[in-house]
């Protein structure tokens, strides 16, 4: 008797809330869903900013501490550098016809990906379900997410 093949699963933990860190998880979850792979996203610590109503449309690129920006760190602390870096990134994203973060969250959720907030991080930052975008399925603990992720390829972003 042939063993039935288990469905592929991808579980993505998003822990950083800057604009440049919002897209990797969303792109991977979208690609997974397009390939028929189950996908769940778990937003924890600063990653909660990506799914918080008041912050999702105001995410910034932070050049300080980011060696990939290819600029001296002292330049990154100058006033307006985050805004400049954010504007530059958004222009490049638009050229590639990639949706803004909130629209991307909706797209990924509508494609069947699960979107979860971390209970501990939400409690620590005094964030409730009402503070989160509508696409968030639930606020769950780490153990609950790990149960959902059982058998999945796990990525930490």
Q: Quick one: three-class SS letters along the chain?
A: CCCCCCCCEEEEEECCCCHHHHHHHHHHHHHHHHCCCEEEEEECHHHHHHHECCCHHHCCCCCCCCHHHCCCHHHHCCCCHHHHHHHHHHHHHHHCCCCCHHHHHHHHHHCCCEEEEEHHHHHHCCCCHHHECCCCCEEECHHHHHHHCCCCEEEEC
Residue 52 belongs to some domain of the structure: yes
- Domain hosting 98: range is 9-156
Question: Does residue 96 belong to any structural domain of this protein?
Answer: yes
Residue 57, pLDDT score:
96
What pLDDT, on the 0 to 100 scale, is given for residue 112? 98
* CATH number reported for the structural domain that contains residue 29 in this entry: 3.40.1260.10
* pLDDT at residue 4, as a whole number: 65
Domain count, the chain: 1
Q: What is residue 32's predicted lDDT score, i.e. its pLDDT?
A: 98
Q: What does the alpha-carbon distance between residue 12 and residue 116 come to, in Å, rounded to a whole number?
A: 10
Residue 4 lies in a domain: no
Asked if the structure places residue 3 within a domain, the reply is no
Q: Is residue 2 part of a domain?
A: no
Q: What pLDDT, on a 0 to 100 scale, did the predictor assign at position 117?
A: 98
Does residue 50 sit within a domain?
A: yes
Residue 83, domain member (yes or no): yes
pLDDT tens-digit profile, the chain (157 residues)? 455 678 899 999 999 999 999 999 999 999 999 999 999 999 999 999 999 999 999 999 876 656 666 665 555 565 667 777 777 888 988 999 999 999 999 999 999 999 999 999 999 999 999 999 999 999 999 999 999 999 999 999 9
- Domain assignment present for residue 1? The answer is no
**pLDDT number for residue 88:** 84
């Amino acid at each position: 008797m042939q063993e039935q093949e288990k469905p592929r699963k991808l579980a993505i933990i998003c822990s950083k809330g800057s604009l440049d860190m919002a897209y990797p998880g969303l792109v991977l979850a979208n690609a997974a869903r397009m390939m028929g792979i189950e996908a769940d996203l778990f937003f924890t610590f600063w990653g909660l900013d990506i799914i918080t109503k008041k912050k999702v449309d105001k995410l910034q690129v932070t050049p300080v501490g980011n060696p990939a920006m290819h600029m001296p760190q002292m330049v990154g602390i100058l006033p307006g550098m985050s805004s400049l870096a954010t504007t530059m990134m958004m222009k490049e994203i638009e050229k590639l016809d990639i949706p803004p973060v909130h629209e991307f969250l909706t797209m990924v959720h509508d494609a069947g990906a699960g979107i979860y907030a971390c209970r501990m991080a939400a409690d620590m930052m005094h964030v409730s379900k009402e503070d989160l975008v509508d696409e968030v399925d639930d606020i769950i603990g780490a153990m609950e997410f790990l149960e959902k992720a059982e058998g999945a390829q796990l990525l930490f972003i």
